[in-house]
Each structure stands twice: as structure tokens, then as C-alpha cells.
Amino acid sequence: MTTYTMPDYRGRFGDFGGRFVPELLMPALLELEEAYKEAKKDDSFMEELDYYLKEYVGRETPLYEAKNLAKKLGSGRIFLKREDLNHTGAHKINNSIGQALLAKRMGKKKIVAETGAGQHGVATATVCALLDLECIVFMGELDVERQALNVFRMELLGAEVKSVAQGSGTLKDAVNEALRYWVSNVEDTHYILGSVVGPHPFPKIVRDFQAVIGQETKRQIQVHTGKLPNHIIAAVGGGSNAIGMFHPFIDDEAVKLYGVEAGGLGLASGKHAATLSAGETGVLHGTMTQLLQSESGQIKEAFSISAGLDYPGVGPEHSHLAASKRVTYDSITDEEALEAFQLLSKTEGIIPALESSHAIAYAIKLAKEVPANETIVINLSGRGDKDVQQVKNKLEER
Amino acid sequence: MGKEKINQYFNNIQANDQHLFVPYIVAGDGENGVQNLPERIQFLQDSGAAAIELGIPFSDPVADGPTIQEGSIRALEQGTTLKKVLDVLAEDKETRTIPIVLMTYVNPIFVFGIERFAAECERVGVDGIIIPDIPLEEEDLIAEALTTHNIAFIRLAALTSTPERLQEIARRSEGFLYAVAVKGTTGVRTSHEDNISTYLTTLKKHASVPVLAGFGVSNPQQAHELGAHCDGVIVGSKIVDLLHQGKKAKVRTLIEESINKQEVGT
């Protein structure tokens, strides 16, 4: 058995990853890489991180057996990793708290972040309030409109939300502006990137802070079943919840891993965010990865009912895991996600985030194909409270 | 062609005791899109430019401020692609005397094919390349192809670079060295940092090619202030803005007043 050690010293996951950034940012990336290396070796840093994860975030999160759902599907045992029960309602805070502590350690007093629907923005604003850091969040103009309540939430937490009018006014443009802000304020500011995207060392750091999801799951499933699961499913936008879940299982080759992308209105429609299923290799936001782009290398807009999956790139490690075939990537349409959203609400009394609903929808399909003695774990990355208004509108449109 | 052409053209200008002035324009911006390039290049050459930095528009230009972002969007809306720009450059290759330097983010050329891109640059008479999102660590993606086709690989230095990195960047740069003169994105600034002269002097010391300061440079006074510590300037946003407003006469004045050392605004 080989041991998985990606990325290499250049931040490469096979052919993907790297640091495609202006020279202005290179010293900051090198400083961050060094600070992170030191922090990981420092017991007091890791203890502080553990303290906040336990006492503030509320870890560990349960691995809950969804018996009603399994019965309804006539399938084998299904478990939900309840990241929705974290403080602020999603897995995002695992990374925000880790990076904020790292920023403090580096002596940075200001934090910049991007956000799509607002989950990462809220998580980052929250930890900045906790740790007394100044916080600026860039958010696309369209998302500011669609997620007015999350904007207010961030402001309530003391963050400054900057609306981004450039481009399509969504997550991609918010990342561009956050990068531009960081370029201009790099000496006193740390950029808390919210997913496993961007230049090295971000994909590694974010993955490591999210890997707590998979580490807990590995322990918990053995308590429940006495063995590793057969199938693990997670939704992939940028891919942080999925990598966090998958990473501790990569060397366990018998465990099948599935990353579920947003199929939007269907791959044939061209309106989707299924980067790994329908993208081409390129460079965006500092990393080489699979992208939705035109033949001349211009980045296309992504499309999904779920704002958290609405990104035309994907983490470079996912591109590598797709190329090496260790993880199976597939897509789920808006319609299928909406059905799963309602099904889990009705059967288990758990309203999942629309992002997580993609993973649930895939599990519903998979459950019909695999033997009933096989176990499925689904990463329930966030709760759906933020989505109920949108889902209500969608259902009324029908 | 390539490095020698830049070298020779710059030498001639410097022999006349003038500052080097490199205007940046977004390829495909303005009336008739890429078709206006031969006329614009001729105009800038006649105005006294030392080379032309031709920006290939990209959907996500993270090193650029609002003016160049908007110019890029206008160019993309007119259907500008790397291939179209190269094809137009091929047309008047023989009559053009001024060096052409392409500024492009890495993705459009990666998708085009790196080797194909370098070969095409040689074919259509592109002399140098500036890629803002390729730092030292990622150069091997493109350096060899550019060397093979004798295209100058122009490196960018930054105010945040460590002394070791500055030295290495200066040592490697070909054609000229692009000294990014602000801690930020492109766009008009009223002033530069206090330590700018030390920075430019350091780069001059280590570079074997001319050093040009760019980002935040928009008027003759800045051109002379910065030019006192290096070989000249690159002006982008101001030129893009003036051309967009149809103020060509002002572009010519800006270049003329910036290059002539006796016209120092004192």
C-alpha cells in the first residue's frame, strides 16, 4: 500500500495546483507556508485549535444513522456526518477558526475573505469577532441581493461587507476582489480563503483544517459498525467539505469515494457548475485545475441552485483525485437536489443545505444500485435554514 | 527579432538621451476591435514610444484595477481572442519597427498551447512576453518554449519581494525588467512609496537589461521622478482611459513630455 502525501513541496497534486500569482503575493504565500509548518509542530497551537473546535464550534459532530431514510430507500445502513450542527451551521468554521488562529500567530490584525452565499463570510466574521480581528468580506453584488440576511448577519458580527459589481457579481468575482484587496494590503492582512482552491499553500491548509471531518468519521463509523464504510459521498463546489471527509480515507482503497458536483439544469444545457465532469484544465485564482472555460481560455459563469457550489473552478486536489480515479465524480441536477432536500426533511426531520442535498440525492441513486449489506456515509456539510425561502419560491414556481 | 530587437530599439532611444516610455493598451478595445491595432501601434510608435505592451484581455485579471478590467471587458465583448490578435500582428509584421510585448495572464496561453504560443509569437513578430501570474516558482511552464523561439521573457519585480528574490528576478529578466512600483493593482496613483528610489536602484544594480517602472504611473512628472532612478516607465490605465475617451492628442503629449529629459517639470 502506498501512502498518500500530496501536495509536493511546490504545492502540486500531480499535474494540478501550484502558485500562479503575482510576485507581490509570493512573499506572503511563503510566509504563510512557513508559519503553518511551524504551527503544526507547536503543541500549544494545536491545543488552542482543539479547544475552540470543542468548546466554541461544538465538535465532535455526531455520525447519525439515518434509519428512516434507509428504510424508505430499502437500502443498507446510511450515516450522516452532522456538520450542520457546527456553530454557524456548516463545516466552513473548521477552516475559519484554524486560519484566524494562524493569522494571529503571524501578527496579522486584519482579515479579508470572499463569500458566495455567505456561509464562509459568516463563519469568518464570527471567528474575527471572537478573536478581535478586523474583518472585510467581499461578496458579489447579485449574492448580496439574494442573501441580504447573511449580509446583515456579517455586519452584526462586526464585519464590513463589500459588494462586488464586477463581472457576474458572484463568488468568482468576489474571489478576484479579495485577491486584489490582499495584493494591496498584504503586509498587515491575512486572506482566509474559504475553500480548497487558490494558490499553494491554501488548498493544503484548508484541507488539513477540514480533515477533522473525516478523522472523526473514521473513528465513529467503527464504533457503529466495527469496520470502515463501503461508500462515502460529499458535495463538491470548491470542494472543502469533500476533501475534509475524503482525505483520511484516501489510503483505504476499499472505501469508495464519490464527489457530487452541481449539475444545474443538466450538463447538456451548459448551465451547471460540474467542473470535473465537463471542464478543461487551466489556471484560475492562482491554481492549475479543471475549469469551466471557453475555447480561448476565458472563464465561464457557473450555474447552480446552490450558491455554495456555484464556482467555475474546483480544488486542484479534486482534479488530481479525478485524474487518478481514486474518487468518482458525478453530478446532480437542481431538480434532484430539491427532491432530496424535501425527502431528508420529511424522513429524518433534518433540513439539509442545498449543497449537501446534492450528496443526499446521489446517495438515493447509489442506494438502489449497491448491495443492502453495504454502508453509505454522507457528509451533511450544512443546514438548510438559509435555503428555505429559496426552496419555497422554487416549489411555488412549479 | 525578440530580445535583440528590444535591445536595439531601446539603445537608439537612450542614445538620444530620452527616457524609455512603454504604453500599455488592451488589444481589441475601441472601435473595430482588434482591427484597430495596426493604426494604434503606428500612432504610438510615431509618438515616441519605446515598445508597445499589448494586453490580451482575460475574464479574471486579478493584477488589474478598474480601468484595465473595464477595457478588458469591452475587448472581450467585441470577440477578442489571442488568436485574432496574433493574426492581426502578422499582417503588418514587415512594416512595423517598434518592439511588441504581449501582456497576458497564463490561462489564455496555456489553453492555446505553450509551445504553439511561443512559435506563433515568433512568426507574427512578438518580441517579448509579460505574464503577471507566473512567479519564479512556476516559470518552467513556459521559459523553455520562449527561449527556443527567442522571445524575451520579461520578469516582474515587486516592492514586497525579498532582496534575494529581487536579485534573482533582475538576473533572469530578458528584454527589460518590469519594476512594479506600487503595492497593489494597476491604476492611477497620485504618489509612490518613499522607498521607491532604493527599490529601483537595487534593481538597476542587478539587472543586465533596462529597468522600467510601471503601475500607478500616469503623468510626465511621475515619469521623470521614477525615470531618474531607472530607465523609464510603463503607463497603462491612463493610456487605456485616454484612448477610450478618444483623446489621442493627449496620449501623444503625455509620451512626448515623459520621454524628453529637458522637459522635466521643475
pLDDT digits (tens, 9 = 90+) for B26-61: 999 999 999 999 999 999 999 999 999 999 999 999
Q: Which of A10, A176, A280 sits opposite B137 (nearest CB)?
A: A10
- Inter-chain residue contact A24 with B138, CB threshold 8 Å: no
| B interface residues, A as partner, C-beta within 8 Å | 58-63, 65-66, 69, 76, 81-83, 105-112, 132-138, 156-162, 165, 169, 180, 183-185
Residue B263 confidence class, pLDDT cut points 50, 70, 90: low
For the question of residue B53 being annotated catalytic, the response is yes
Check whether B16 has a pLDDT greater than 60.
Answer: yes
Domain range holding B44?
Answer: 3-263
Domain range holding A277?
Answer: 59-89+210-397
Q: Which residues of A are catalytic?
A: 92, 114, 381
Q: Which of B106, B137, B184 sits opposite A183 (nearest CB)?
A: B184
If asked whether residues A196 and A304 sit together in one domain, one would say no
- Inter-chain residue contact A184 with B184, CB threshold 8 Å: yes
- Inter-chain residue contact B158 with A167, CB threshold 8 Å: no
If asked whether residues A149 and A269 sit together in one domain, one would say no
Residue B264 confidence class, pLDDT cut points 50, 70, 90: low
Which residues of chain B neighbour A25 with C-beta distances below 8 Å?
Answer: 160
Domain membership flag for residue A4: no
Residue holding cell 482575460?
A: B58
Domain membership flag for residue A7: no
Bridge partners (DSSP) of residue A258 are: A233, A328
pLDDT digits (tens, 9 = 90+) for A169-225: 889 999 999 999 999 999 899 999 999 999 999 999 999 999 999 999 999 999 999
pLDDT digits (tens, 9 = 90+) for A48-84: 999 999 999 999 999 999 999 999 999 999 999 999 9
pLDDT averaged per 10 residues in sequence order, chain A, 398 residues = 89 98 96 97 98 98 98 97 98 98 97 94 98 97 88 98 89 94 94 98 98 98 98 98 98 98 97 97 98 97 91 97 98 98 98 98 97 97 94 93
If asked whether residues A306 and A278 sit together in one domain, one would say yes
Q: Tally the domains of chain B.
A: 1
Q: ipTM of this predicted complex?
A: 0.96
If asked whether residues A30 and A79 sit together in one domain, one would say no
If asked whether residues A78 and A172 sit together in one domain, one would say no
Bridge partners (DSSP) of residue B157 are: B179
Q: What are phi and psi of A190, to 5 degrees?
A: -110, 140
Domain membership flag for residue A248: yes
Look at residues B61, B63, B107, B112 and name the one whose alpha carbon lies nearest to residue B84: B112
Domain membership flag for residue A123: yes
Q: Taking all residues of chain B, what is their mean pLDDT, rounded to a whole number?
A: 96
∠ CA B170-A202-A56 to the nearest 5 degrees?
A: 140
Domain membership flag for residue A6: no
Which residues of chain A neighbour B140 with C-beta distances below 8 Å?
Answer: none
Residue B193 confidence class, pLDDT cut points 50, 70, 90: confident
Query: Reading across the β-sheet that carries A16-17, which strands appear in turn?
Result: A12-13, A16-17, A287-291, A280-284
Q: Tally the domains of chain A.
A: 2
Q: What is the CATH number of the domain that holds A171?
A: 3.40.50.1100
Report how far residue A273's alpha carbon sits from residue A395's, in angstroms, rounded to the nearest whole number: 22
**How many Å lie between the alpha carbon of B3 and the closest alpha carbon of chain A?**
23
If asked whether residues A76 and A106 sit together in one domain, one would say no
Last residue of a domain, one of A188, A206, A224: A206
Q: What is the CATH number of the domain that holds B253?
A: 3.20.20.70
